[in-house]
């Protein structure tokens, strides 16, 4: 991003200071009228705030797109998005599982601040126990909605199934998708319960198309419908989460893959890539591409239990706090603002999406709305050389992790690992005994962070499986 263009973004932010009134989920975030009027004295000098499209994949392997290293699954549309923008090498989510990761994304805060440490459990339990994202949390879609954006969500929610958790209640004008943690990709054969069904807003329906295609179709429709407005589209595909299912159209693209499970997974990734391509094509068709910030990200690492995802060169995958479970692909594209084909190598977090999108929209959030993420634009532009975060933290029952610069610590019960990620991205050499002072520093920072968090609001699933990692037991808390 050039200095002049970034100055425009800073100017726009300064001219759009915000205030908050009300309490809890009824807090209203609105433009300051005096500064809003001042903005109109600068015709032609201030660009309209961008449209925003946030694409969130599910369980995608770190190395399962071309731009992140795949040699077997062509992903031309995702690769092209990276060529037009910034690719992040050290991007993290806040959890190794779907539901808490989404809570961190939507809130811009460590989800442990409101007890959201584990998945909400199966759909029926989630509904019966009324588990979900605390209604007092102001989501960033709510912020964008209150400041004039048309907002739409198309895909998997996984942040609660009851009406007070529903996407229409949390900042989305339009919702097409499902509320639970997983759904099949083909048309259902029987009536589904409210917490499992595909729905449009709050109306149940039976979707006839392959679900990845359907989410792309609905996103394209939303873009065309709102081409003359500012719009925000959140597209959390359930692809490539289980069940591993693909339609013939995509299976036929991999005639030489003999392993049926692998062939189907490759086809699912190809369908996801086509969906990204359809969304970008809609931006071109509506002539909104040049003024749209597009983000592509994944919710957690690819699972190793399916035996088809690849997180190479990262260690392990989903459910773990090693790099394969929490480091994910992240691409941002904004023509004329973000430098095409650039790479950012400092650690960033899904927590940063909230403040970064608000900055792009020209909004300054009130000081009372405290976030754990930061606006990434000054870092991407070079205005700030330091890393966006001094440290990042994770908690999953007895499993904890922290990253401080090049150093990464993982704890599981009484066992501890220390890795130098700058020289050992695969976390193969435990330096805990060799670097006791560094380990002590990380443990102190983790303890300080934990002191700010709340206990889990509900337990992890029972019958917790234990696996051995380097001879130490690692308990899988979901």
Q: Which of these is catalytic: 16, 77, 98, 379?
A: 98
pLDDT of residue 292: 98
Q: Which of these is catalytic: 127, 146, 158, 166?
A: 158
**Catalytic residue at 166?**
no
Asked if 335 contacts 360 with a C-beta cutoff of 8 angstroms, the reply is: no
Asked if 118 contacts 456 with a C-beta cutoff of 8 angstroms, the reply is: yes
Pairing relation of β-strands 86-88 and 342-344?
A: parallel
The enclosing H or E element of 107 equals: helix 98-107
**Catalytic residue at 358?**
no
Q: Where are the beta strands (DSSP E) in 194-351?
A: 199-200, 203-204, 231-236, 292-298, 330-333, 342-344, 348-349
pLDDT of residue 101: 98
Q: 391-475 has which CATH code?
A: 3.30.1120.10
pLDDT per residue rounded down to tens, the chain (478 residues) = 443 333 333 333 333 434 333 334 344 444 445 444 433 333 333 367 999 999 999 999 999 999 999 999 999 999 999 999 999 999 999 999 999 999 999 999 999 999 999 999 999 999 999 999 999 999 999 999 999 999 999 999 999 999 999 999 999 999 999 999 999 999 998 888 878 899 999 999 999 999 999 999 999 999 999 999 999 999 999 999 999 999 999 999 999 999 999 999 999 999 999 999 999 999 999 999 999 999 999 999 999 999 999 999 999 999 999 999 999 999 999 999 999 999 999 999 999 999 999 999 999 899 899 999 999 999 999 999 999 999 999 999 999 999 999 999 999 999 999 999 999 999 999 999 999 999 999 999 999 999 999 999 999 999 999 999 999 999 999 9
Asked if 185 contacts 210 with a C-beta cutoff of 8 angstroms, the reply is: yes
Tokens of 219: 């996103």
Task: Give the CATH fold of the 3-381 domain.
Answer: Alkaline Phosphatase, subunit A (3.40.720)
pLDDT of residue 47: 61
pTM over 0.85: yes
pLDDT of residue 16: 40
Q: In what order do the strands lie in the sheet with 199-200?
A: 203-204, 199-200, 174-178, 150-156, 231-236, 51-57, 292-298, 330-333, 86-88, 342-344
CA 400 to chain centre: 20
Polymer length in residues for the chain:
478
- What ranges do the domains of the chain cover? 3-381, 391-475
Tokens of 58: 């599910």
């Amino acid at each position: 991003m050039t200095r002049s263009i970034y100055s425009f973004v800073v100017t726009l932010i300064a001219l759009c200071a915000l205030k908050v009134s009300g309490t809890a989920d009824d807090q209203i975030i609105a433009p300051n009228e005096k500064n809003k009027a001042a903005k109109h004295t600068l015709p032609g000098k201030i660009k309209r705030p961008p449209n925003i499209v946030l694409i969130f994949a599910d369980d995608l392997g770190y190395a399962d797109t071309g731009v992140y290293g795949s040699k077997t699954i062509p992903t031309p549309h995702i690769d092209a998005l990276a060529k037009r923008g910034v690719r992040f090498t050290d991007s993290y989510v806040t959890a190794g599982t779907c539901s808490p990761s989404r809570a961190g994304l939507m809130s811009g805060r460590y989800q442990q601040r409101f007890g959201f440490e584990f998945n909400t459990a199966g759909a029926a339990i989630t509904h019966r126990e009324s588990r979900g994202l605390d209604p007092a949390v102001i989501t960033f879609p709510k912020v964008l909605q209150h400041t004039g954006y048309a907002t739409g969500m198309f895909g998997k929610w996984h942040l609660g199934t009851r009406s007070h958790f529903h996407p229409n209640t949390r900042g989305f004008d339009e919702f097409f998708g499902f509320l639970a943690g997983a759904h099949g990709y083909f048309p259902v054969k029987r009536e589904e319960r409210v917490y499992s069904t595909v729905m449009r807003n709050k109306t149940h329906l039976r979707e006839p198309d392959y679900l990845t295609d359907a989410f792309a179709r609905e996103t394209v429709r939303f873009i065309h419908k709102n081409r003359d407005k500012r719009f925000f589209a959140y597209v959390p595909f359930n692809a490539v989460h289980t069940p591993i299912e693909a339609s013939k159209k995509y299976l036929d693209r991999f005639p030489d893959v003999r392993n049926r499970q692998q062939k189907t997974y490759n086809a699912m990734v190809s369908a996801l890539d086509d969906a990204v391509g359809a969304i970008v094509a809609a931006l071109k068709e509506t002539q909104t591409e040049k003024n749209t910030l597009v983000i592509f990200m994944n919710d957690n690492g690819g699972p190793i239990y399916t035996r088809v995802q690849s997180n190479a060169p990262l260690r392990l995958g989903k459910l773990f706090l090693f790099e394969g479970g929490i480091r994910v692909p992240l691409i941002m594209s904004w023509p004329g603002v973000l430098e095409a084909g650039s790479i950012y190598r400092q650690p960033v977090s899904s927590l940063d999406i909230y403040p970064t999108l608000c900055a792009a929209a020209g909004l300054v959030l009130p000081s009372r709305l405290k976030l754990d993420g930061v606006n990434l634009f000054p870092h991407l532009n070079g205005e700030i050389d330091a890393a966006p975060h001094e440290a990042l933290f994770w908690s999953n029952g007895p499993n904890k992790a922290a990253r401080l610069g090049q150093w990464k610590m993982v704890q599981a019960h009484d066992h501890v690992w220390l890795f130098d990620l700058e020289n050992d991205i695969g976390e193969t050499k435990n330096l805990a005994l060799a670097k006791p002072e560094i380990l002590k520093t990380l443990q102190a920072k983790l303890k300080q962070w934990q002191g700010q968090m709340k206990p889990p609001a509900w337990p992890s699933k029972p019958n917790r499986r234990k696996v051995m990692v380097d001879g130490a037991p690692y308990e899988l808390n979901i």
